[in-house]
Amino acid sequence: MTKANKERKDLSANKEASDRDRLYGRILKGVGGFYYVYTDEGTYQCRAKGLFRKKSLKPLAGDECIIELTHTDDVEGNVTEIFPRKNALVRPPVANIDQALVIFAMHSPDPVWGLLDRFLIMMEREGIPSVICINKDDLAYSGDINDVLNIYGRSGYRIIFTSAKELTGMDELRETLDGKVTSVAGPSGAGKSSIINAITGKPLMETGEVSLRLGRGRQTTRHTELIYLWDDTFIFDSPGFSAMELPDMEENELAGFFPEMSGYIGKCYYSDCTHIHEPDCKIREAVSSGAIPEQRYDSYVDIYNELHERRKY
């Protein structure tokens, strides 16, 4: 049992009046210096105590915390303790994620697979499992679904095909989310908000249409927020992205963040093999044999070269 879970159990069981104003909670969002904290007793608007500023610790959506109720004019409580985080991301600024659900559309807008690869690399680097959701599968052309399975299914990722419009794939998504804190991300127009609304059966999120002229979606999510779905089940919805900057990393680390390549690392003839031009490279051999999808390898080469060029400056 984690410290946070033990504290939650202890507070729930404690009947002393002095402790009734101390509650275990999870921060849903921070807006304008206020933090909105979900507890078993309801959601409270809180301020963060000054001690966090002294420690240079900024509360994040997803933080498990203790609040003390005050019920003053403009605030209902103070965040007095934040439990140690198991992980934290900078973009979006969230904490304590169990998994990432990345949502791309099959079409309208057409997927940019290199963007998906970058997101997956970031999650691999943070040790956060990723699930790929391909929405709008009702727009799929012949062979589209098999292409996705051949590339990303063979790379070891779980893939869920959905249509928010037709309400297909929702049961599988609910099962995937159940009991977890999930970060939901994807490009604008992919249908993140529509899927969230379909999963819950109620309009939690504003949805936007895809621009016919530009071929991309109108961004509807403007800040990062943790959304309570049902028992112990939360999702982060964050603003859509159309580009993703790679984290600060060395290019020789990159292959380790491609699951289909990691098993070949250290088996090449050259110990410092870049897996791009050297002879007797096991990763290149695996690409030639079809064991590693060529599209994923091409993405690896593009990102490797970008990291290499960035290091020059």
pLDDT band at 244 (very low <50, low <70, confident <90, very high): confident
In which element (H, E) is residue 22 found? strand 22-31
Q: Evaluate whether residue 243 is within a structural domain.
A: no
**Banded model confidence at residue 281, pLDDT cuts 50, 70, 90:** very high
Categorize the per-residue pLDDT at 312 as very low, low, confident or very high, splitting at 50, 70 and 90.
Answer: confident
Whether residue 245 lies inside any domain: the answer is no
Region for 215 from its dihedrals, namely left if φ exceeds 0, alpha if ψ lies in -120 to 50, beta otherwise:
left
CA distance 5 to 182: 18
Same domain, 75 and 140: no
Whole-angstrom Cα Rg for the chain: 22
The pTM (predicted TM-score) of the whole model is 0.84
CATH number of the domain where residue 233 is located: 3.40.50.300
Structural domain tally of the chain?
A: 3
CATH number of the domain bearing residue 24: 2.40.50.140
Q: Kindly report, residue by residue over 22-81, the tens digit of the pLDDT.
A: 999 999 999 988 999 999 989 999 999 887 877 888 999 999 999 999 876 667 899 999
Distance between CA atoms of residues 220 and 240, nearest Å: 8
Which residue among 66, 85, 104 closes a domain? 85
Q: Which of 174, 205, 237 is the last residue of a domain?
A: 237
Regarding whether 189 and 222 lie in a shared domain, the answer is yes
- Both 81 and 118 in one domain: the answer is no
Mean model confidence pLDDT for the chain: 86
Query: pLDDT category, 238, cuts 50, 70, 90?
Result: low
| 244 belongs to a structural domain | no
Task: Establish if 135 belongs to a structural domain.
Answer: yes
Tell me the residue range of the domain where 46 lies.
3-85
Mean local confidence (pLDDT), 274-302? 97
CA dist., res. 75 & res. 259, Å (int): 47
Q: Which of 47-61, 101-115, 183-197 has the highest mean pLDDT?
A: 101-115
pLDDT of 7 strictly over 70: no
CATH number at 256 reads 1.10.40.50
- In a shared domain, residues 131 and 226: yes
Same domain, 226 and 300: no
Work out the pLDDT band at 239, boundaries 50, 70, 90.
low
Rounded to an integer, what distance in angstroms lies between the CA atom of residue 301 and that of residue 87? 29
Q: What is the pLDDT of residue 73?
A: 62
d(CA 225, CA 60): 10
The pLDDT score that the predictor gives to residue 52 is 80
Q: Are 37 and 43 in contact (CB under 8 A)?
A: yes
Q: Where are the beta strands (DSSP E) in 70-137?
A: 77-82, 88-89, 94-95, 99-105, 130-135
**pLDDT over 50 (residue 124):** yes
Q: Of 312 and 107, which is predicted with more confidence? A: 107
90 pLDDT higher than 70: yes
Dihedral over alpha carbons 174, 175, 176, 182 (to 10 degrees): 50
Mark which of 176, 202, 237 sits at the end of a domain.
237
Residue 81: what are its φ and ψ, rounded to 5°?
Answer: -150, 140
Measured between alpha carbons, how far is residue 19 from residues 25, 44, 48, 67 in Å?
14, 16, 19, 11
Report pLDDT digits (tens) over 132-189.
Answer: 999 999 999 999 999 999 999 989 999 999 999 999 999 999 999 999 999 998 888 9
